[in-house]
Chain A
Amino acid sequence: MTQHGEGELSPEVVMAEMKKNGVTHVVWLPDSETNFLYLLMEADPDLDLIPVSREGQAFSTAAGLTVGGKKPVILIQNTGMMESGDSLRGWGLSLNIPVVMMVGYRGWTRHGVNTDTAATYTERFLNAFGIQYYLVENGEDAPRISVAFEEASRTRRPVAVLVGDEYHGFNR
């Protein structure tokens, strides 16, 4: 088990936010630092994990789940989100799907200087689609995840949570 320092965004905190908001399904494609979250999710009998092999599938899957009254969350990396633009548009926005996508913010750094174009274009991409987003960097930021769920439900639109720490990846 990995030891998490005080204030860090722990997988347990992310799980607690999912449970608090009634998440039933996690539609996901692994990113570089979420394995501990995966192990927690896999062990939870109340969560149904749906693995996809390309991030665009996550939006149409989530749309179908929502039609049937379930509450999915999408867990992907910013690289895959950008590759999924047309699916986000068609299956997310045009069907009014109130889904939260938790997006690993690859390349993001607190000091604002990055060398990874994945980070350079992430917020520009979301702004182009008119997607509201919340940056979550540590445990103190975790309540923003609930804000995102509330906003998605109220606006019937996808809302993004950018995970700026990627569970202790890039800011070490």
Chain B
Amino acid sequence: MIDTAEMLKAFAPHRGDSIVIPGRGGRHWTQISDQPNRDLPVGDPAMGGHASFGLGVALSLPDERVILFDSEGDVLMNMGALPTIAEKAPKNFYHFMLDNECYATTGGQPVPNAKNIAYDVIAKGSGYPATYAFDNLEDFATHLEEILGQPGPVFVALKVNPEVENTPIGARVRWQTRSRTQVIDDLKDELGIEGP
């Protein structure tokens, strides 16, 4: 199992100018990122949508490398997004998926068939040209340059330690420092994108 914060720290030197959608890793990434205006920490607008959101960002900005940290719960909820990503095949899209085998934000209940799903195989079968799976940080770090050095879409499944929350949502400390719409507006300003 990989510690999510340590994984993101290992990734950070490879980030370059990539646009990063930190997804479920947002609480850690906001502490690590040195280019917050190129990040899209939109939190969880609606579960299951991150992969499609990342696809849209990648297709709309073909000259930017787009990195998504998705989760297995999100992928399970909208697994049909994988064939769409594979068909559109954005060469600038890198799809990392954090697999903690549970719904951590609701108390840690297991996802269906939690310990027996090969997400990299599902991605490969959906048409991703390159897929990986890692369950330890060392192997992941060793392969990062290779992963990011090839054209996308690339899918990377990562077994991570669950960070279970079990306090009522209203009582949790917010890690977001900007609103979702502010995050988007900041990225648009950074990239010089006009329009609503």
Question: A residues near B, CB below 8 A?
Answer: 25, 48, 50-54, 56-72, 86-87, 89-91, 94-96, 98, 153, 156
Contact A91 B60 (CB under 8 A): no
Set of chain B residues within 8 Å of A48, measured between Cβ atoms:
59
Q: Looking at A50, A61, A71, A86, which has the most chain B CB atoms within 10 Å of its CB?
A: A61
Give B87 Cβ to nearest chain A Cβ, in Å: 7
Contact B84 A91 (CB under 8 A): no
Whether a CB of chain A sits under 8 angstroms from the CB of B42 is yes
25 contacting pairs across A/B (C-beta < 8 A): A50-B55, A50-B84, A53-B83, A57-B78, A60-B50, A60-B51, A61-B52, A61-B53, A61-B56, A61-B84, A63-B49, A64-B53, A64-B57, A67-B184, A67-B188, A68-B193, A70-B59, A87-B46, A90-B46, A91-B46, A91-B49, A94-B180, A95-B42, A95-B45, A96-B196
In the assembly, what is the distance between CA of A32 and CA of B129, in Å? 32
Give B64 Cβ to nearest chain A Cβ, in Å: 8
In the assembly, what is the distance between CA of A122 and CA of B162, in Å? 40
Contact A65 B46 (CB under 8 A): no
- Could you tell me the dominant secondary structure of chain B's interface residues? helix
Set of chain A residues within 8 Å of B59, measured between Cβ atoms:
25, 48, 50, 64-65, 68, 70
Give A62 Cβ to nearest chain B Cβ, in Å: 7
In the assembly, what is the distance between CA of A156 and CA of B188, in Å? 15
A/B pair count, beta carbons within 8 Å: 117
Give residues of chain B (25-65) contacting chain A, Cβ–Cβ below 8 Å. Answer: 40, 42, 44-61
Chain B, interface size: which category? 35 or more
Contact A52 B84 (CB under 8 A): yes
Contact A69 B57 (CB under 8 A): no
Whether a CB of chain A sits under 8 angstroms from the CB of B146 is no
Contact A61 B55 (CB under 8 A): yes
**9 closest A-B pairs by CB:** A64-B56, A68-B60, A90-B46, A60-B49, A53-B80, A90-B45, A60-B52, A69-B193, A65-B56
Question: B residues near A, CB below 8 A?
Answer: 40, 42, 44-61, 78, 80-81, 83-84, 87-88, 180-181, 184, 187-188, 193-196
Set of chain A residues within 8 Å of B48, measured between Cβ atoms:
56, 60, 87
A-B contacts besides A69-B195, A96-B196, 20 pairs, CB < 8 Å: A48-B59, A52-B84, A53-B84, A56-B46, A57-B49, A57-B78, A57-B84, A61-B53, A63-B56, A64-B56, A64-B60, A65-B57, A66-B196, A68-B60, A68-B61, A70-B59, A71-B195, A87-B48, A90-B45, A94-B180
Give B50 Cβ to nearest chain A Cβ, in Å: 7
Set of chain A residues within 8 Å of B83, measured between Cβ atoms:
53
State which of A53, A67, A86 has its C-beta within 8 Å of the C-beta of B56: A67
In the assembly, what is the distance between CA of A133 and CA of B132, in Å? 44
Contact A67 B60 (CB under 8 A): yes
Residue of B nearest to A70 (CB): B60
In the assembly, what is the distance between CA of A58 and CA of B48, in Å? 12
Contact B194 A50 (CB under 8 A): no
Give B184 Cβ to nearest chain A Cβ, in Å: 5
Residue of A nearest to B47 (CB): A86
